[in-house]
Amino acid sequence: MENFIQKHKQLFQSSAIFMGWLLMIYAGIFFIPALFLFSVPEKILSSSTTITLASLFVLGLFTVREKSWIFVGWAALTAALGILLFSIPNGIQLVYLILATGLITLASYYGFVNPQKQFPSIAIAMGIIFLAVFTSHAAILSNPQKFGLNIQGDELSTFTSEALQRIAEMDSVEFVKTDKGREIAVQVYDTSIFVSQEELERMVKENPNPIREVQQSLLSTKNPFTDNPYSYILNVYTHPLTNFLREELQIKK
């Protein structure tokens, strides 16, 4: 076993470092929009999210810098994902992500740790910090109501379904007045993209069935915000935005 590890040590290191770079990139990308969560009432969620993303960035940075104890951070992340596996809707689908994270834990251990040296105390300290950050955020995501957050986890799914229902029930002429409706009408009626709006509306009034069929077909469109664990997490993160959009639509009515 020792010979195998030493022979493939560079492979282990490369695997961990590659994932470290990806983690830094993704954490950096999502950190910026996460800052907008501070403008909404859910301060617990906003604070937890930004701290978690910052910790993920640090985890990736330390992995890239080949810290020998970094495997404890990946192990903590694996534990946090394990919590979500059993506590969120359709969480069982996270099993592949958990396995991948677990493999990176092993890769960082076998790639960077020198078994001849004493286990450093900083590994224990950082492990506790990573574990506390990741698992606390996982706990908030899995049961936001317990932390005083009025979030159900299906707001975005419901909102998109309601929006599609409104479009399906919209008057066909009003529908083609929208940019997307006009684009669809041009295709359905096989006319020039330069056709005037008045002419297009006249065509719809004379023969509304093609547009109505398109509108009705939207009801059978598969909602991408259902039946997967990422949709639940996305629903939690976008809860304030969904409420804002729903209020805006009610005001316009």
Compute the average pLDDT of residues 65-75: 91
Residue 247's pLDDT is 67
Compare 5 and 210 and report the one with higher pLDDT. 210
Q: What tens digit of pLDDT does each residue of 195-232 get? A: 788 888 888 888 888 888 887 777 776 766 677 888 88
Percent over 90 (pLDDT), the chain: 31
Spatial neighbors of 151 by CB under 8 A, at least 6 apart, are: 42, 45, 144, 145, 235, 236, 239
Whether the pLDDT of residue 2 is over 90: the answer is: no
d(CA 140, CA 143): 5
Q: Please tell me which residue, 126 or 133, carries the higher pLDDT value.
A: 133
Which range has highest mean pLDDT (27-31, 146-150, 221-225)?
27-31
Higher pLDDT, 63 or 177: 63
Mean pLDDT of 231-242: 80
Structure-block tokens of residue 171: 């008057």
**Whole-number Å distance between alpha carbons of 207 and 221:** 24
pLDDT of residue 239: 76
**Predicted local confidence at residue 177, as pLDDT:** 83
Contact in structure between 232 and 152 (CB atoms under 8 Å): no
CB-CB contact of 98 with 78 (8 Å):
yes
Q: Are 111 and 13 in contact (CB under 8 A)?
A: yes
Does 83 score more than 70 pLDDT?
yes
Model pLDDT for residues 173-202, shown as the tens digit of each residue: 888 888 878 888 888 887 877 878 888 888
Residue 1 has pLDDT above 80, yes or no: no
Average the pLDDT over each of 35-39, 105-109, 160-164 and give the range with the smallest value: 160-164
How confident is the model at residue 62, as a pLDDT?
93
Nearest to 166 by CA among 249, 234, 244: 249
What is the reported pTM?
0.76
Q: Does pLDDT of 103 surpass 90? A: yes
User: Lowest-pLDDT range, 55-59, 71-75, 172-176?
Assistant: 172-176
Q: How far is CA 51 from CA 30, 44, 78, 94, 217, in A?
A: 12, 11, 17, 22, 43
Query: What band does 248 get if pLDDT is binned at 50, 70 and 90?
Result: low
Instruction: Determine the pLDDT at residue 253.
Output: 53
